[in-house]
Amino acid sequence: MKPLIGITTAYDEKDGYYFLHRAHADAIIKAGGLPVLLPYSEARDRERLVEQLDGLYLTGGNDIDPHRFKEEPHPRLGKVEVLRDRFEFALVETFIAKKKPILGVCRGSQVINVALGGTMYQDLPSQKETALLQHRQTRPLQFPSHYVYIKEDSLLFNIVKERSLLVNSNHHQANWQVGEGLLASAKSEDGVIEAVEKEAEPFILGVQWHPEQLLREKDGASLRIYRYFVKQAIKGMT
């Protein structure tokens, strides 16, 4: 039986659409999971929702409300989605309580970190003092643009079996201090955290890049990440 993977969506206020790039759903399908798109719902219903799902996949999107990590808004903070934050933070808490696996990409890796008490750069270029790489790449997202270096004794290393990966990059925010029990398992050359993880139950991995887009060009490491996540979701079904 295929595991049900809940995928978070973004909301377009102007036209009233929930939306998701199909690459996310395709990646879950390719890895053997059954994607279930999640519109925002009431906090009181989340227990019921999480009971039905075998894994949580947090996708990319707009900025996170800095009050989530006890900061006032920086002048270069982008668009914040309060309702999306409310829904996703509640989901993360409940998935962790029920020991079900979580994979986050881009904004999703920050939701994971902040939910566990970590902090963020609200705007990397104006808040990080050292010279930065280009983290908002100019080429299309299915093509990688910068390297990340992976800690050898990490879950991510065990999944991809590589010390470095060439990844894509489309973010102006990033994780700063990691949350409780999390390990920063990959960084770019400029020291920006590119992956956070927790190896103990449940499986939690957040990557700052977009593996779903790299998968469109048949990237092997991206497929291994999705397959591992789906495998963890299957493990929890018995």
Q: What is the nearest approach in angstroms of Mn ion to the Cβ of residue 124?
A: 9
Q: Which tokens in the block code for residue 105?
A: 């990409």
Q: What is the nearest approach in angstroms of Mn ion to the Cβ of residue 181?
A: 23
Catalytic hit among 81, 88, 197, 212: 212
Would you give the DSSP letter of residue 170? B
Catalytic residue check, 199: no
Q: What is the chain's length?
A: 238
Q: What share of the chain is helix, strand, coil (3-state, %, to 5)?
A: 35, 25, 40
Q: Which tokens in the block code for residue 81?
A: 């989605």
Q: Does 169 bind Mn ion (CB under 5 A)?
A: yes
Catalytic residue check, 106: yes
If the CB atoms of residues 53 and 58 are measured against Mn ion, the closer one turns out to be 58
Catalytic hit among 24, 106, 171, 197: 106
Given a contact cutoff of 8 angstroms between Cβ atoms, the answer to whether 173 and 108 are in contact is no
Q: Does 135 bind Mn ion (CB under 5 A)?
A: yes
Would you give the DSSP letter of residue 70? T
Q: Does 210 bind Mn ion (CB under 5 A)?
A: no
Kindly state the number of chain residues that form the binding site for Mn ion, as judged by CB under 5 A. 2
If the CB atoms of residues 49 and 205 are measured against Mn ion, the closer one turns out to be 205
Q: What is the nearest approach in angstroms of Mn ion to the Cβ of residue 69?
A: 20
Question: Exposed (0-12), middle (13-18) or buried (19+): which is 87, by Cβ within 10 Å?
Answer: buried
Please give the positions annotated as active site.
106, 210, 212
